[in-house]
Structure 1
Amino acid sequence: MTGPVLRVDDLRVSIGRADIVRGVSFAVEAEQTLGIVGESGSGKSMTVLAATGLIDAPGRRVSGSSVLRRGTDDAVELVGASDRTLRRVHGDAVGFVFQDPGTSLNPLLTIGRQITESLETHRGLSGRAARTRAIDLLEAVGIPHPDERVDAYPHQFSGGQRQRAMIAVALACDPALLIADEPTTALDVTTQAQIIDLVQTLQRERGTAVVWISHDLGVIGQVADDVLVLRKGVAVEQRPIADVYAQPEHAYTRELLAARPRIRADAGPPPRPDAAPLLDVADLDVRFTIATPTGPRVVHAVDDVSFHVRRGTTLALVGESGSGKSTIANALTGLVSPKAGTATLAGADLLRARRADRRRIAMVFQDPFASLDPRRSVGDAVTEPLRVHRLGGRTASQRRDRVAELLDLVGLPTAFHERFPHELSGGERQRVSIARALALEPDVIVLDEATASLDVSVQAHVLTLLRRLQDELGTTYLFIAHDLAIVQEMSHDVVVLKEGRVVEAAPAPELFANPREPYTRQLLAAVPPERPRAVRS
């Protein structure tokens, strides 16, 4: 092939009166990975969607050029291309892997059918040949027992397996270009490392060009040869990844580099050796019965887990997806009923608490947009727990004053009282969720992946807020996360979980300096390192 697989020149995207992408240009060669990085709203996904002809928004205007080459004589202009041309290209010459395979995969079709569909459409394979190819692809992406799992549905796969299946769908027709849009953001660090290695292995074997979109320069440093930094739809820096890490030219790039979580010897909050136990969990056991093709099966989600959280400190629960972290949080907050075990909060039985005592433990969820009612204003959302639990005064005026205090506490102006969730950024919505949790005046706040869906710079601001609240209010946190760099930054103590069981528990400085268990060392090794991976020759 002569020339790049994809060349984009002076790409501009407007929707209505808003200019979303302004004059972006880039190129990506075969076997090369271009990383596109920036915060939410920087235009990353919109740039790639426009370059591949996938924008379908009312009032859109796309100009510039985006030329895709699959062979020496096969060049297609995608900007302004007809629907027929785009149908011929998508799924054949261009494959897509999106952030959430749960919404990208069709829940009504088996994984095998979603792979064979493109093979039959673009390659003309018979049903039997396409099925054989689908099994081979599932094996190539590391799905165990592919001849059996080919007939499974997406909900029967774990999060990491769904993403692997999505990669199999994207690579079914050996595309010249693979678009990976935040493909590892929602995954734990070990699964993220496996997906990165998988994509790079398949890329070397097939000569695929890859455009990898992420808000995290730490991830981009492990996958990309070159990086394009976008800010408000403008390319502010475009250079080899090693040069960007060594000497970033733009202040925004330096800000992104400084915000990425890293494991450091001097990281972590100051120790609090005299803090007394506040929350004691002993022998917690949670089981679920699920339906399978062969009959009901019992899943032992949490198996004999014990730990204690000290007052005014942060205890982190870490582990891969399926390790039981969120199930423990749900049991403590009354969302699921454990089969056995005890949980006492300052001597009170938490598992059998009355509603008045339930407010002593509050929860902040991963996705603030999903956890806030879109029909309620910020003021109503924060007022609700005050009204239900009769806190913040007896009159509406007193409660409104208390809401203003809570918003100020989390760094939001009083004017936000009248806004709705869709009018806020991700970081602002999460601050509202934290204010709502603080309204309960709880003894413990459970943070269930509370920063996982945020940009690294916004994540850094939220973590700073949480540490400030702990210092000022003496707040106690149960911090659930899969990112060990963030865990080190926030936590006094750490409990490592695997398949519902505790494999290691220790003070955070001790665990990070000298992990005892191989599984803990595996989690630490999966964290993106300080320096970028060596550029491939």
Structure 2
Amino acid sequence: MTPRSPVLSVADLGVRIGSRTIVDGVSFEVFREHTVGIVGESGSGKTMTVLAATGLLDAPGAKVSGSSVLAGDVPTELVGASPRLLRSVHGARIGFVFQDPGTSLNPLLTLERQITESLQTHRNLTRRAATTRAAELLEAVGLPDPQTRLHAYPHQLSGGQRQRVMIAIALACDPELLVADEPTTALDVTTQAQIVELVRRLQRDFGTAVVWISHDLGVIGQVADDVTVLRDGLPVEQAPIDAVFDHPREQYTRDLLDARPVLDTSAPVTDPSAEPLLEVAGLDVKFSVPTPVGRSQVHAVRDVSFTIRRATTMGLVGESGSGKSTIAACLTGLVKPDRGVATLGDVDVLGAKGRAAKSLRRRIGLVLQDPFSSLNPRSRVGISVAEPLVVHRLADSKKTREERVAELFELVGLPASFAQRYPHELSGGQRQRVSIARALAAEPDLLILDEATASLDVSVQARVLDLLARLQRELGLTYLLIGHDLAVIRQLSHDILVMRHGAVVEKGPADDVFSAPEQEYTRTLLAAVPPVRPRA
């Protein structure tokens, strides 16, 4: 293999499942120290393309056509290869990093066992040599105290640390090709930036070729040299990254670029006469958690105070573990704080009991990150939306409930006929709109949005954010918008509250926080947002 010959050559790749064409006519090449970005919305065929190209596709009835050649002394055709040949390639010559390390790692095995497995299988290393190599890999991916971490289990690590372990496993045998399938989608923006930088550094050090899959052109702009844009399984645009950003040829590519959350937008204008709706003072939460040496106390929220005014949005920002969701759990009665006061109008939020607590549940709505797990998979979504109407006795008859559900579906931009569908029959964005409709059914004073767009494609995310902005204008809604991405938070927030390790590190009007952040941590969060221009 010459220095400029491709590591992987994919030509006219196609995938059919039954009578349906999933991928058609995809071709690309990836070279040493070179990254090809494959981008598109959910269902565009990104993951299916790479699974088919690497011989991992195992869907019943799937037929793969075309060619995918892994270079070497003897080029290896991966399309139609035998299971034995693929086992010798996967792990040894091709490494994989998938979106959710929580499901990719075995929860019953230590990190040492999971990293050394491929080393002993493909490199025939002794257990001692494999363990030494595993510690070196954990150190290379930036995991602190690697010798101790070898004996840890996946649940003892954060999401970013688990993803670093997945990268260590993928790189264990010095593969020629690394496939990264949405490896940063579920991570904080700061952790995402660290993972992107880690892969770039390892690529420079080891000369690895990378195929990076994402729905976000902002992320692709940080890592890719060339881009293939997929839509409905078809390559609609292929070009160097600069050309895609500067002169996109297809409207679909322009739509993906426009959907990226960026920081150069102005915060919504605040009505100075808006009166306080929710006031929180001195909120403090501690948890007792088991550890190998006994129980330990985690100080999840430390003396947090803030005020949200009517018809405005408070953006609550911070990394995973900063205490954001714990505050939401306190306000909705799911967690009892150790100390603090919270009032909604004239109602004591934290001390409400009996009828007062039930009334409060009506006044505070909640929209969670994963709409699929929030909805009952065995119930039609119309029934889920009508449930608050039944619980709070807001509709006297079945006909009244059906009319109100139809109004709510129209309000969130869905046809009333969708009420008869089940959650699995809707897209992610449609399911999140249903979740918003259900939260609005009880006509709440405050709507808590806990990472409500984090799991969505950027194009779907943009539409949901536009919907929330419209509903706030039309209905005078008040939001507590929880997230880790400052670019998303900026689009809706009038005021910002930045948290770290359970404590507030900065707060103030959104324009002030974004234009002149006082704290280094806030500046770090801002710097982690993908830039407008590609830097790969």
1:267 Cα deviation after fit: 2.2
Alignment of 1:200-349 (within 5 A): 200-264=200-264, 266-349=265-348
TM-align CA RMSD: 0.9
Which letter maps to 2:321?
G
Alignment of 1:14-413 (within 5 A): 14-69=16-71, 71=72, 73-264=73-264, 266-353=265-352, 354-391=357-394, 393-413=395-415
Question: Which residue, 435, 445, 456 being the options, matches 1:443?
Answer: 445
Alignment of 1:512-527 (within 5 A): 512-527=514-529
Match of 2:75, SS? strand
CA distance in 2, matches of 1:282, 1:20: 54
Give deviations 1:146-202, integer Å, cap 9, x for gaps.
100111000000111011111111111111100101111111111111000000001
Which letter maps to 2:301?
V
CA distance in 2, matches of 1:191, 1:94: 24
Which letter maps to 2:230?
L
Could you state the TM-score of these two structures normalised by the residue count of structure 2? 0.98
CA distance in 1, matches of 2:170, 2:386: 46
Which letter maps to 1:101?
P
Match of 1:304, SS? strand
Which letter maps to 1:376?
S
Which letter maps to 1:438?
L
1:335 Cα deviation after fit: 1.5
Question: Which residue, 3, 6, 13 being the options, matches 1:4?
Answer: 6
CA distance in 1, matches of 2:335, 2:140: 38
Match of 1:335, SS? coil
CA distance in 2, matches of 1:25, 1:245: 21
CA distance in 2, matches of 1:335, 1:100: 26
Which letter maps to 1:53?
G
CA distance in 1, matches of 2:74, 2:275: 70
Match of 1:289, SS? strand
CA distance in 1, matches of 2:76, 2:472: 56
1:526 Cα deviation after fit: 0.9
Give deviations 1:215-262, integer Å, cap 9, x for gaps.
000010000000000011000111100111111111111111111011
Which letter maps to 1:443?
D
Give deviations 1:359-407, integer Å, cap 9, x for gaps.
211110111111111101011110111111111x211111111100110
CA distance in 2, matches of 1:233, 1:179: 19
CA distance in 2, matches of 1:53, 1:370: 31
Which letter maps to 1:335?
L
CA distance in 2, matches of 1:305, 1:341: 8
Match of 1:359, SS? helix
Match of 2:44, SS? coil
Give deviations 1:291-333, integer Å, cap 9, x for gaps.
1111111111111111111110000100111111111111111
1:103 Cα deviation after fit: 0.7
Give deviations 1:394-450, integer Å, cap 9, x for gaps.
111111111001101001111101000100011100000000000121111110110
Residue 454 (structure 1) aligns with: 456
- Whether the aligned pair in 2 keeps the contact of 1:13 and 1:19 (CA below 8 Å) is yes
Q: Kindly tell me the number of residue pairs found equivalent between the two proteins.
A: 530
Which letter maps to 2:93?
A
CA distance in 2, matches of 1:227, 1:271: 40
Deviates more, 1:125-134 or 1:346-355: 346-355
- Whether the aligned pair in 2 keeps the contact of 1:362 and 1:446 (CA below 8 Å) is yes
CA distance in 2, matches of 1:40, 1:489: 23
Alignment of 1:427-442 (within 5 A): 427-442=429-444
1:74 Cα deviation after fit: 3.2
1:270 Cα deviation after fit: 2.0
Which letter maps to 1:360?
R
CA distance in 2, matches of 1:35, 1:330: 38
1:100 Cα deviation after fit: 0.7
CA distance in 1, matches of 2:101, 2:216: 19
Give deviations 1:453-504, integer Å, cap 9, x for gaps.
1111111110000000000000000000111111111100000000000000
CA distance in 2, matches of 1:358, 1:25: 53
- Whether the aligned pair in 2 keeps the contact of 1:350 and 1:358 (CA below 8 Å) is no
Residue 478 (structure 2) aligns with: 476
Match of 1:454, SS? coil
1:275 Cα deviation after fit: 1.1
Match of 1:341, SS? strand
Q: Which runs of 5 or more residues in structure 1 are unaligned?
A: none
Question: Which residue, 489, 492, 507 being the options, matches 1:490?
Answer: 492
CA distance in 2, matches of 1:399, 1:310: 31
CA distance in 2, matches of 1:337, 1:108: 32
CA distance in 1, matches of 2:326, 2:360: 20
Could you state the TM-score of these two structures normalised by the residue count of structure 1? 0.98
- Whether the aligned pair in 2 keeps the contact of 1:492 and 1:507 (CA below 8 Å) is yes
CA distance in 1, matches of 2:273, 2:75: 69
Match of 2:124, SS? coil
CA distance in 1, matches of 2:466, 2:28: 36
CA distance in 2, matches of 1:90, 1:272: 58
